[in-house]
Homo-oligomer: A and B are copies of this chain.
Amino acid sequence: MTRVSRRRLLGTGALTAAGAVVSASAAPSAAARTAPATADVVIVGAGLSGLTAARDLVAAGRSVIVLEARDRPGGRVYGLPLGDGTTTEGGAEFIGPTQDRITALTRDMGVETFKTYNTGKNVYYRNGTRSLYETDGILGAVPPDWGVIDLQIALFKLGDMIKDVPVGEPWKAPKAEEWDAQTFYTWSRSNSLSSGARFLMDAFASSTLSMRSQEVSLLYLLHYAAAAGNESTPGTIDRLINTKDGAQESRFAGGPEQVPIRLAASLGDIVRYNAPVRSIVTGSGGVTVNADGITVSAERVVVAMSPAIAGRIDYSPALPASRAQLTQRYPMGSIAKFIGVYDTPFWRADGLTGQSIADSGAIDATFDNSPPDGSRGILMGFMNQANIRKLDGAPESEVRAAGLDSFRKLFGDKAAAPRATAIQRWDNETWSGGGPTGIAPPGALTAFGPALRAPCGPIHWAGTETSDYWTGYMDGAVRSGERVAKEVHAAL
C-alpha cells in the first residue's frame, strides 16, 4: 500500500507541475442548440431505403421526419462531380432484370434508363498478358483449356447450392452451418484446381462485393446470388455478374442519384440534412432521436442504414446482444471508383466494350461510364480493396498515376491521357463506412442473421442489407424501405 500512496503523490504532483488545467465553469457547446420536433415516425438516413419508407408511411397518413447526416439524399447513390459541372456514377450505378422495385421507383420519378455499352470484346489481363474474350460474365475469360471445365464445374456446384438457400433467410438453408463455417476462399480452393478458375472466383467476390474471398462466408456469397432474382425468378450467379440480361444491364440517364434526389424533393421539408443522429432513447411513450441540431420525439424509429454504421449510434437502453454484436460482424466492402474522362469512348472504335478483369495493378475491373449518346468517353475502374488501402495516405497524384497505369495496360496508350480524372472512395467515407454493402464473415449469418431485421422494441431496421431480394443493390434498398413501412404502419 506504500507504493500506492507514493504513486498517488507522484501523480498529483506531476499533474500540477505539467500544468493540466481543468476549469470548473460550464458552458453550452455550439452543437448543443437543438430544435425539438415530433412525428409518428422518425427515419434515420435519406438513402433509397429511408426515402422509400418515408414515401409509403406518408402515403399511409403517418407523419414522418427523415434525418440525414449528409447535406444530400441518396447515401451510396451519388453523382461524382467531374469538375466541369457534370457528374458520373460515383456509387451505385446499374439496374437490371428482376430488380422490380427500383425499376418501379425509377419510372415513378420520371428517370430514364439506357443499356450499358456492351458491344465488342472484354479485356482479360493476367500474369502480364492482355487478351480479349467475348462471352459475358467470367466464364468467357478462362483461357480455352481444361480451366474452362474446372470453373464450369465449380459454378455448377455453386448454382446447385444456391437453390437450397431460402431467400432472405440463408440461416435456414439445410447446410447453413457447414456453409457458414468456411470462407468462400476455402470453398473455391477445395472445389477447383486451375489457377485460372481460382483467380476468376476471387475476381467474382472482389468485383461483386469489393471484398477478398478470404473475408466472405460461403453462405453469405450463396445468399447474395440467391437474392439476385425476384419472387418468380430464382437468383443466379449469371444474373449477378452479367451485363447482358444481368445486374449491369442498364444505367440511368442523368445518373441514378436522380431517383433519390427527386424522391427527397417530393417529400419536401420533412427531410432534414446535416443532421447526423447521435443517440436513440427508448422510453415508455416511444423514442427520442437526438441528431445534431434537432431532437425528434416519435412513436417509432426506422434506422435505414447498414448494420456497421447503425452500430455507431448510442442506443439507450442498450440493444439486445444479438443486434449489438451483429453490428460488429457485418463489415462494409472497400469499394473505390477511379474515373477517366476522354474526348471520345475510343475503346469502342477498337472493338472493346470497356469492360475488363485484371489480376494486377490498382484497378481490377472496368466499365464504360460514357453518357448515352457517346459524346465523350468515360472509363470507370474499380480500385481493388487491397490496392486502395495501400494508397491510403498517398497524395492524389500517386493515386491518379496508379489508376492511369492500369487503364493504359488494359486499353492502350490513349487511356493514359484523359481530359480529367476523378476518384470516389467509400472505404474512408464517414457516413457509409465502405461499400457497396455490408457483408457477413463466417459464422455471422447463422448466429446473428435474424437480428438483421428483427425490430428492437420501437426500433425498426431497413437498408439494402436487410432485403430479401437484391440485397446489396438499389433494388434491395427500395424493397427494404417498402417492407419496413408496412412493418411500422402495422405496429402503430
Binding site for B on A (CB under 8 A): 1-5, 7-8, 10-12, 14-15, 17-29, 31-40, 55, 58-65, 107-110, 177, 180-183, 185-186, 189, 211-215, 262-263, 265-270, 276, 278, 290, 295, 308, 311-312, 314-315, 318-322, 324-325, 328-332, 334, 385-386, 388-389, 392-393, 425, 427-430, 433-434, 441-444, 446-448
Contacts and interface: CB of A to CB of B under 8 A. Distances in A.
10 contacts: A3-B110, A4-B109, A8-B266, A18-B63, A20-B270, A23-B37, A29-B295, A181-B186, A318-B428, A328-B331
Contacts of A318: 428-430
Nearest to A332: B328
A109 B427 contact: no
A25 B331 CA distance: 39
A322 B392 contact: yes
Given A23-B36, A29-B32, 15 more contacts: A1-B110, A4-B265, A4-B266, A5-B266, A15-B63, A25-B35, A29-B33, A29-B34, A276-B314, A320-B392, A321-B388, A328-B330, A328-B332, A389-B448, A441-B442
Nearest to A431: B318
4 closest A-B pairs by beta carbon, nearest first, are A32-B32, A20-B63, A215-B443, A214-B443
Given A4-B109, A331-B329, A40 B18 contact: yes
Could you tell me the dominant secondary structure of chain A's interface residues? mixed
A215 B38 CA distance: 42
Listed residue (A263, A321, A441) with the most chain B CB atoms within 10 angstroms of its CB = A321
B15 A270 contact: yes
B10 A59 contact: yes
A32 B433 CA distance: 27
Contacts of A325: 331-332, 334, 427, 433-434
A192 to B, nearest CB: 14
A61 B388 contact: no
Contacts of A39: 20-21
A430 to B, nearest CB: 5
Contacts of A429: 318
Nearest to A13: B58
Contacts of A444: 215
